[in-house]
Amino acid sequence: MSKKTRTTNSLYEGAVPVGGELGTSTSKFCVDDKVVMFSSVVGDALTPILEENWRRMNRSRDRRWVRNLAIWDDKRGDWRYVGAMTRSSETPNWFTERGLVQNMDDAFVGLQAGLFLLNKERTKDGKKPLDKIGMGFGIPVKAGENAADEFFSYLRTRLEKKGEQSFLTIKAKNVATGEEETIRIQLAFVAIQFQGYGAYMAMLFGKYGMKLYNTYVIDVGHGTWIKLPVIDNEVDMLLADSIPYGMHTITENISRVIFEKSRQRYRIPEQRVMEKLPRNETRIEVPGEGVFDFRPVLDNELRDMVDKILVRVRQDLGELSRRGKFIDYFAIVGGGAPLVFEPIKKGIQRYYDWNDEVTNARVVDVSTIGVHPRTINSVGFMLLARDQIAIELDRPVDPSFGVRELVTDELKGDGRDLRASRQPLSKAVIKS
């Protein structure tokens, strides 16, 4: 064994694989069988007065870290609210807007928050703390390789170097209880990929039995929708794109229509429209106007969105076919998937003139492989990291996975998500 191999081995040995992505609305992080999800937003600096006020005003009995989190920003020298906490902040800043990272310092706070919360979940389960990790990280498509380079060079300025090793120190505070905690994690590596690639990895592990199939990922998120063709295990850089049009566009339009209907007297916060969608409710009380059912508006908006998505997808399929490439599977993911899955599937069926059986086999509902379409990318990025570790250590990769719990910063809802666990598949061989 050469010296080089030994140092590489010791770098990867014992690293826990984790996955993460910063979405325009929510960031998702995954370790083992847990996904942590919180709003992609940091608030202004936490002054002692703000903090005191927060504690006094806070009547909530929800004292979990994920709902009351502040992260110490050592670059700017102050505490920052993260996620749910920012609702009490004057100026909330989103890490990303239209799918692009706005401010690296804020995004870094988000990354620290995600890793801190994953560590909390792990130790809560009596597992070893996350003292050494390998990370799969999803970045927006549009900016291409520059975004990855930019992220890496930023990361280097924030990590502590010790010979070959890099460390990240995270100082966190639970604002409800006043508890403070500092952890230090060795970052063995960060593997960066485009956001929809996580879904591809989850399909590779959970459906393809580690064989390579050409996959077209459609990720309908909050601020954007992403198209990501993966051909021969590589992202097609010419066709991959992120389009600034997502569920947010739809809820914004619904809220505007309600405003017009009330003769511009009543504005329904978009958040209220948004909250109704997962519950399949479309009726909303408009003061002075009675109950307004936005179902027809929603249906129209969805039809528009699906049409626009299908135009782009058909163009890509035409282009791929001219190059002699064929898509084996389509994966429709993201928070919007429950609303657009069926019509997009129908559109793809019409394009190929497939019968129902072929369509159902090729257009995949990812919940059938045990992952939620909204969190699948974070799970897949953990698998990407796991794969990387196995390759470096020259060991077979364990292809099994299953999300047992979803931890969110939402107060409402049960915050728990039981998913079928996976049986281990055969030994993996992956083209890297």
Beta bridge partners of 181: 172
Q: How many residues touch ligand ATP (CB under 6 A)?
A: 22
Does 134 engage in binding with ligand ATP (CB under 6 A)? no
Q: Find the binder of ligand ATP among 136, 198, 206, 246 (CB under 6 A).
A: 246
Out of ligand ATP, Mg ion, none, what residue 132 binds, judged by CB under 5 to 8 A for its kind, is none
Supply angle C-alpha 68, 111, 189, rounded to 5.
145
Three-class DSSP category at 87: helix
Out of Mg ion, ligand ATP, none, what residue 207 binds, judged by CB under 5 to 8 A for its kind, is none
Rounded to the nearest whole angstrom, what is the least distance from the CB of residue 295 to ligand ATP in the complex? 13
Rounded to the nearest whole angstrom, what is the least distance from the CB of residue 248 to ligand ATP in the complex? 5
Three-class DSSP category at 394: coil
Does 372 engage in binding with ligand ATP (CB under 6 A)? no
3-state helix, strand, coil in the chain (%, to 5): 40, 25, 35
* DSSP per position, 177-232: T--EEEEEEEEEEEEEEETTHHHHHHHHHHTSTT----EEEEEE-SS-EEEEEEET
Out of Mg ion, ligand ATP, none, what residue 43 binds, judged by CB under 5 to 8 A for its kind, is none
CA distances from 145 to 226, 230, 237 (A): 16, 16, 10
With contacts defined by CB under 5 A, name the span among 219-227, 292-300, 310-318, 394-402 that binds Mg ion. Answer: 219-227
Q: How far is CA 32 from the centre of its chain?
A: 16
Q: How far apart are alpha carbons 354 and 373 in whole angstroms?
A: 24
Q: Closer CB to ligand ATP, residue 40 or residue 166?
A: 40
Q: How far apart are alpha carbons 63 and 409 in whole angstroms?
A: 11
Does 64 engage in binding with ligand ATP (CB under 6 A)? no
Q: Closer CB to Mg ion, residue 246 or residue 399?
A: 246
Does 396 engage in binding with ligand ATP (CB under 6 A)? no
Q: Find the binder of ligand ATP among 221, 370, 380, 399 (CB under 6 A).
A: 221
Q: Closer CB to Mg ion, residue 43 or residue 221?
A: 221
| Tokens of residue 135, six digits | 């990370």
264-283 residues in contact with ligand ATP (CB under 6 A) are 274, 277-278
The count of other CB atoms within 10 Å of the CB of residue 401 is: 24
Does 43 engage in binding with ligand ATP (CB under 6 A)? no
Does 334 engage in binding with ligand ATP (CB under 6 A)? yes
Q: Which among 175, 49, 205, 48 is positioned nearest to 113, based on CA atoms?
A: 175
Residue with tokens 């010296």: 3
Q: How far apart are alpha carbons 62 and 68 in whole angstroms?
A: 8
Does 224 engage in binding with ligand ATP (CB under 6 A)? yes
With contacts defined by CB under 6 A, name the span among 158-166, 333-341, 405-413, 416-424 that binds ligand ATP. Answer: 333-341
Does 221 engage in binding with Mg ion (CB under 5 A)? yes
Rounded to the nearest whole angstrom, what is the least distance from the CB of residue 279 to ligand ATP in the complex? 8
Does 193 engage in binding with ligand ATP (CB under 6 A)? no
Three-class DSSP category at 279: helix
95-114 residues in contact with ligand ATP (CB under 6 A) are 99
Out of ligand ATP, Mg ion, none, what residue 378 binds, judged by CB under 5 to 8 A for its kind, is none
Rounded to the nearest whole angstrom, what is the least distance from the CB of residue 343 to ligand ATP in the complex? 13
Does 223 engage in binding with ligand ATP (CB under 6 A)? yes
With contacts defined by CB under 6 A, name the span among 124-132, 215-223, 318-326, 423-431 that binds ligand ATP. Answer: 215-223
Q: Closer CB to Mg ion, residue 344 or residue 428?
A: 344
Does 247 engage in binding with ligand ATP (CB under 6 A)? yes
Does 23 engage in binding with Mg ion (CB under 5 A)? yes
Q: Find the binder of ligand ATP among 34, 227, 248, 362 (CB under 6 A).
A: 248
Rounded to the nearest whole angstrom, what is the least distance from the CB of residue 85 to ligand ATP in the complex? 18
Phi then psi for residue 229, to 5 deg, are -80, 130
Supply angle C-alpha 310, 311, 317, rounded to 5.
80
Phi then psi for residue 403, to 5 deg, are -90, 120
Does 336 engage in binding with ligand ATP (CB under 6 A)? yes
For the CA atoms of 236, 238, 242, 243, the dihedral, rounded to the nearest 10 degrees, stands at -140
Q: How far apart are alpha carbons 262 and 254 in whole angstroms?
A: 12
Three-class DSSP category at 2: coil
Rounded to the nearest whole angstrom, what is the least distance from the CB of residue 127 to ligand ATP in the complex? 27
CA distances from 353 to 91, 319, 362 (A): 51, 18, 13
Residues that bind Mg ion (CB under 5 A): 23, 221
Residues that bind ligand ATP (CB under 6 A): 23-26, 99, 219, 221-224, 246-248, 274, 277-278, 334-336, 338-339, 374
